[in-house]
Amino acid sequence: MKKHTIKDILSDYKRFLHHNITVQGWVRAFRSNRFIALNDGSTILNLQIVVDFEQFDEELIKNIKTASSLKIEGEVIESQGAGQSIEILAKKITVLGDNFSEELEKTVLQPKKHSLEVLREQAHLRFRTNLFGAVFRLRSAISFAIHQFFNQNQFFYINTPIITGADAEGAGEMFSVTNFDLNNLPKDENGEIDYTQDFFGRKTNLTVSGQLEGETAAMGLGRIYTFGPTFRAENSNTTRHLAEFWMIEPEVAFNNLEDNIDLAEDFLKFVINYVLDNCKDDLEFLDKRFAEEQKQKPERERAKEGLIEKLQNVVSKRFKRVSYTEAIEILLASKENKKGKFQFPIEAWGADLQSEHERYLVEKHFECPVVLFDYPKEIKAFYMKLNEDGKTVGAMDVLFPGIGEIIGGSEREARYDVLIQKMKEMNVDEKELWWYLDTRKFGSVPHAGFGLGLERLVLFITGMTNIRDVIPFPRTPKNAEF
């Protein structure tokens, strides 16, 4: 691209000094009919435009309002004021497009008046605020770092199907996909809906995970990852649930559980280091916001670390690796459990861990990211590798401060006969999964993988607290606008 963004100009300003340049952007503020803060989305930083209003038409000056779009031609000069190294002395100003200022007052673009809830209903406009600009630039940087990590480690990016006839993983409630006219459903002789007449000739759903298909790809390509949308039709109106969210699922042939944990730790640290290195301005903005939010909380509820500090700590500490069995012992021995402070008290080995337990381990007991592994087989999925004890499976969860589980994965059961046995025990349909079983027939190999919910990681890195604020157009019960 031959045009210069405001990021180009500010990050390499010496190159531009005393040159005439053209910049385009939106007015964030216009002070004293003299100083325009111009933003073009490339960075959270504004470029200051100095306007000698006597040199310009009065009508033009009147049209320069918050949210106006401008093209500025002018000279890059050293800034007289504090806060920026350079500014542009405007020589020509063009108003680019319509700006309906009377409606503007009611919207998102009027700073301070709006809350995050109001902005959610104006999701198409929140990209123009400092906060959401920062969040979505970070989401983008995180996504790129994910692709870069996998690419440099020889993983191949695979697109697993979104519409699927497979309904076997049991990861959650699914949405149906159909081409039927619901007012005129074809029925078979038994009065049942005749799905053979639907578009795909069968009942189909939106995927809840690409893992099983991903495994088949890893059996040929070795190292693969998915990065795509997944869906849950669960009626959960919480700050942590979305009906549509993005998952990253690597799968690696020849990896065992320990390799899998190593991969998860390397991966998370790579991504967080990437944003620490590449997204300083946005992170500093979010760090300040986070600090201000903490100040308004009662002291005992405040975070111990600042946002950037938290990220730096995560990348500098080795994640603590603890078996489920050890974790249960720690929890059983904890004051919290003994004094009945957990909503779900831990009574014995075999208990499913809740968010409160995970957060106790991470935030109070170890004070660092924790990887739990070797869970009881009863509380984990059928495809996880049965350990030699016959009681546990090679599952792993990575737990992060403030957020709980950020990654869940496992070594997979590679032995055909053991897998069949587990499917029987757990009522998973073998016929439905004939293709999955095939991967254990023709040169089965140990393999392992995990899933990361992108939005959880974006929440953690940005310090936002509602998952609806880290995806551009959230899909939740009763909400599919846009």
Asked if 482 is part of the footprint of a copy of itself (rule: CB under 8 A), the reply reads: yes
Residues within window 221-260 making contact with a copy of itself, judged by CB under 8 A: 221-223, 228-229, 231, 233, 235, 243-244, 246, 253-254, 259
Choices 1-9, 290-298, 316-324, 375-383 (CB under 8 A): range interacting with a copy of itself: 1-9
Residues within window 457-476 making contact with a copy of itself, judged by CB under 8 A: 471-473, 475
The string of DSSP letters for 337-386 reads: HHTT-SSS---STTPPPPHHHHHIIIIIII-S-EEEEEEEGGGS-TTBPB
Q: What is the nearest approach in angstroms of a copy of itself to the Cβ of residue 392? A: 21
CA quadruple 211, 213, 219, 225: dihedral positive or negative?
negative
- The angle subtended at Cα 365 by Cα 364 and Cα 371, nearest 5°, is 110
Asked if 263 is part of the footprint of a copy of itself (rule: CB under 8 A), the reply reads: yes
CA distances, 5 to each of 12, 74, 126 (Å): 11, 15, 20
Asked if 68 is part of the footprint of a copy of itself (rule: CB under 8 A), the reply reads: yes
Q: For a copy of itself, which residue of 55, 85, 159, 237 counts as binding (CB under 8 A)?
A: 159
Residues within window 379-438 making contact with a copy of itself, judged by CB under 8 A: 414-416, 435-436, 438
Using the minimum distance from each CB to a copy of itself, give the nearer residue, 7 or 391: 7
Selection from 228, 160, 164 nearest residue 454 by Cα? 228
Asked if 211 is part of the footprint of a copy of itself (rule: CB under 8 A), the reply reads: no
Q: For a copy of itself, which residue of 156, 270, 274, 342 counts as binding (CB under 8 A)?
A: 156
331 contacts: CB under 8 Å, gap ≥ 6: 337, 346, 353, 357, 360, 361
Q: What is the nearest approach in angstroms of a copy of itself to the Cβ of residue 354? A: 26
Q: What is the nearest approach in angstroms of a copy of itself to the Cβ of residue 311? A: 20
Q: What is the nearest approach in angstroms of a copy of itself to the Cβ of residue 103? A: 6
Residues within window 279-318 making contact with a copy of itself, judged by CB under 8 A: none
CA distances, 128 to each of 5, 69, 136, 287, 480 (Å): 16, 12, 11, 19, 21
Asked if 271 is part of the footprint of a copy of itself (rule: CB under 8 A), the reply reads: no
Q: What is the nearest approach in angstroms of a copy of itself to the Cβ of residue 293? A: 23
Choices 150-158, 280-288, 290-298, 395-403 (CB under 8 A): range interacting with a copy of itself: 150-158
Q: H or E stretch including 20?
A: strand 20-31
The partner residues of 231 in beta bridges, in order of sequence, read 244
The partner residues of 223 in beta bridges, in order of sequence, read 252
Asked if 354 is part of the footprint of a copy of itself (rule: CB under 8 A), the reply reads: no
Using the minimum distance from each CB to a copy of itself, give the nearer residue, 26 or 375: 26
CA 380 – CA 377 distance, rounded (Å)? 5
CA 346 – CA 49 distance, rounded (Å)? 62
Using the minimum distance from each CB to a copy of itself, give the nearer residue, 299 or 442: 442
Residues within window 164-183 making contact with a copy of itself, judged by CB under 8 A: 164-166, 173, 175-180, 182-183
Choices 84-92, 152-160, 353-361, 399-407 (CB under 8 A): range interacting with a copy of itself: 152-160
Six-digit token string for 413: 């059961």
CA 473 – CA 250 distance, rounded (Å)? 25
CA quadruple 297, 302, 306, 307: dihedral positive or negative?
negative
Using the minimum distance from each CB to a copy of itself, give the nearer residue, 115 or 183: 183
Asked if 200 is part of the footprint of a copy of itself (rule: CB under 8 A), the reply reads: yes
Rg (CA), the chain: 27
Q: What is the nearest approach in angstroms of a copy of itself to the Cβ of residue 99? A: 5
Q: What is the nearest approach in angstroms of a copy of itself to the Cβ of residue 10? A: 13
The string of DSSP letters for 227-285 reads: EEEEE------SSS--SEEEEEEEEEET--HHHHHHHHHHHHHHHHHHHHHH-HHHHHH
Selection from 263, 265, 257, 250 nearest residue 369 by Cα? 265
Q: For a copy of itself, which residue of 9, 30, 38, 42 counts as binding (CB under 8 A)?
A: 42
Asked if 60 is part of the footprint of a copy of itself (rule: CB under 8 A), the reply reads: no
CA quadruple 325, 327, 330, 332: dihedral positive or negative?
negative
Using the minimum distance from each CB to a copy of itself, give the nearer residue, 378 or 438: 438
Helix axes 257-278, 130-152, angle to 10 degrees: 140
Residues within window 79-138 making contact with a copy of itself, judged by CB under 8 A: 96-100, 103-104, 107, 109, 123-129, 132-133, 136-137
Asked if 209 is part of the footprint of a copy of itself (rule: CB under 8 A), the reply reads: no
CA 419 – CA 64 distance, rounded (Å)? 68
Q: What is the nearest approach in angstroms of a copy of itself to the Cβ of residue 462? A: 14
Using the minimum distance from each CB to a copy of itself, give the nearer residue, 374 or 413: 413
Structural contact between residues 287 and 336, judged by C-beta atoms closer than 8 angstroms = no
CA 375 – CA 358 distance, rounded (Å)? 14
Choices 24-32, 333-341, 342-350, 396-404 (CB under 8 A): range interacting with a copy of itself: 24-32
Using the minimum distance from each CB to a copy of itself, give the nearer residue, 107 or 313: 107
Q: For a copy of itself, which residue of 20, 220, 239, 277 counts as binding (CB under 8 A)?
A: 220
Q: For a copy of itself, which residue of 201, 304, 350, 379 counts as binding (CB under 8 A)?
A: 201
Selection from 444, 419, 96 nearest residue 253 by Cα? 444
Q: What is the nearest approach in angstroms of a copy of itself to the Cβ of residue 476? A: 8
